[in-house]
Structure 1
């Protein structure tokens, strides 16, 4: 690309066969809504969310070769910027229309938070519908949500979501144990790869970022949502019921492998278990 990829997603650099094998997708390679739903589900249930590179003292880089080496060729994951860059490259390669967006993660909080969560606005070749794809949050949705100003409640294997446009601001709601809560808000202002670079730098380096202080790992299987936050392992069911337990540092490598599908190199496992 003559612009260095600033206005695109470098889909031509993606090993599409390897990516589709990594997520277990065997469907039609066409830019349709059905394929989009299947890709979204496959990605969110195959590639975990994790911030471990930061804790291992390495930078998070968003070039596609690094992302392929980590998320596709290894049993590792990434956070929103990493997951979205790979997913967008695959969609671009398949012929979808893609616009990057930034969201503010709220989780019901009223305080203003920075827009540091990457999501995608996606269109297909078959109709005029517009979709919100959110493969990098770590806890679903399983499939894209249609961007409708007063969207219907969507049940995805018991996980419930809905979208709404409120005074020009879009809100993604999720149903939990305490009822509906706003998970994040966003506008349709286009974001480009360099905007994601800026957000990624803040998230991966700022002492105010939650990802620079302790392990934060998620695995969403469709049936269960596993979260490792520091040394607390929580499992959430679609109805909002949860179970939690504390783990010690020595347990982390095995827990990451058995539950979160993340295999660390022996040296990295040692660094993680010896963190203060």
Structure 2
């Protein structure tokens, strides 16, 4: 991984100082602007707490745009969240603007996928180089997003503020696993081939428009906390606390669902004529 990777044009654009400061303020970062491992760890910890995972735009049929100005507007200025392409593209631009070497990768997801079902490579993650060492960064994997970068050079398990993970190399691919309920479970598999913005845009368009896409059919939101996670799937709300039994609740009121999205997930919901009707359908279908 060398400087000429940035010639691939995924992260050629840099945030100006005002935009970078706005992002730091959004996530609560008060550290230095230098490309250090400490900065990467702090930003990776803060980002998924401040900018939630959510798929409200596809759920409402609102088009997604993934150019840097669009990402800044939605995730930073409008107080919204997003899914993997939005989250990791923004995070990658921030890191690149700080001087990190960053590369976009693509993964095939196995987490919560029924046995025998084959998913396309529809997840984005980042490869980041710091002091000659390579790390995986991913702030957009929803309810299983990790809260620290993972060393690509280490096959032993790695502790993060919330869970343990491990990366294993098999042939041309790396396999990322998470320790859950006393067992290792596969999250996703990825290779080292660089991805460009059109690669992500094609997959994102499919996920946002295909009638059978979960991002179109269902509502999802997730937010990391220092002690655990909030997770929402349609009208089923779960609180995951580290080393404790998860607390689950089914919401039966669209107003309650709206307030949950705004108050616990910190999402400034878009002004859309179908918002309350869509939320009402979720609670009535249970």
The normalised TM-score by structure 2 is 0.88
Deviation, 1:7, is 3.9
Q: Which residue of 2 aligns with 1:230?
A: 234
1:241/1:226 Cα in 2 relative to 1: closer, same or farther (>3 Å)?
A: same
Confirm or deny that 1:117 pairs with 2:123: yes
The whole-number CA distance in structure 2 between the counterparts of 1:4 and 1:54 is 31
Residues 177 and 239 of structure 1 are in contact (CA less than 8 Å); yes or no, is this contact kept in structure 2?
A: no
- The reply to whether residue 20 of structure 1 matches residue 13 of structure 2 is no
- Aligned-pair CA distance for 1:210: 1.1
| Post-superposition offset of 1:194 | 1.2
User: 1:79: Cα distance to partner?
Assistant: 0.2
| 1:193 paired to 2:197 | yes
Structure 2 equivalent of residue 46 of structure 1 = 50
- Out of 204, 211, 217, the position equivalent to 1:213 is 217
| Cα shift readout 1:194-248 (whole Å, capped 9, x = no counterpart) | 1111111111112232111011111111312111111111222233732211112
* Alpha-carbon offset, residue 4 of structure 1: 11
Deviations 1:158-204 (A, max 9, x none): 41111111222211110112511011111111111111111111111
- SS of match in other structure, 1:20: helix
CA distance in 2, matches of 1:162, 1:239: 19
How has the CA–CA distance of structure 1 residues 245 and 31 changed in structure 2, closer, same or farther, with 3 Å as cutoff?
Answer: same
| Contact 1:142 1:222 (8 Å CA) reproduced | no
**What is the CA-CA distance between 1:267 and the residue it aligns to?**
4.3
Say if 1:132 and 1:147, in contact at 8 Å, map to a contact too.
yes
Partner of 1:68: 72
- Cα 1:5–1:74 change in 2 (3 A) is farther
**Structure 1 residue 270 corresponds to structure 2 residue 276:** yes
TM-score normalized with structure 1 length: 0.91
Aligned positions, number: 271
Determine helix, strand or coil for the equivalent of 1:11: coil
Change (3 A) 1:34 1:186: same
Task: Provide the rounded CA distance (Å) in 2 between the counterparts of 1:131 and 1:214.
Answer: 32
Per-residue deviation at 1:60?
1.1
Tell me how far 1:5 sits from its aligned partner: 8.3
- Structure 2 unaligned runs (5+)? 1-5
Query: 2 CA distance for matches of 1:7 and 1:257?
Result: 32
| Structure 1 residues without counterparts, runs of 5 or longer | none
What is the alpha-carbon distance in structure 1 between the residues aligned to residue 47 and residue 66 of structure 2? 18
| Alpha-carbon distance in structure 1 between the residues aligned to 2:13 and 2:268 | 27
Listed as ranges, the matches of 1:1-276 within 5 Å are 6-12=9-15, 15-107=19-111, 109-124=115-130, 127-138=131-142, 139-148=144-153, 151-239=155-243, 241-248=245-252, 249-265=254-270, 267=272, 269-275=275-281
**CA–CA separation in structure 2 for the residues paired with 1:182 and 1:78:** 23
Structure 1 residue 62 displacement after superposition: 0.5
What RMSD over aligned residues (CA atoms) do the two structures have, in Å?
A: 2.2
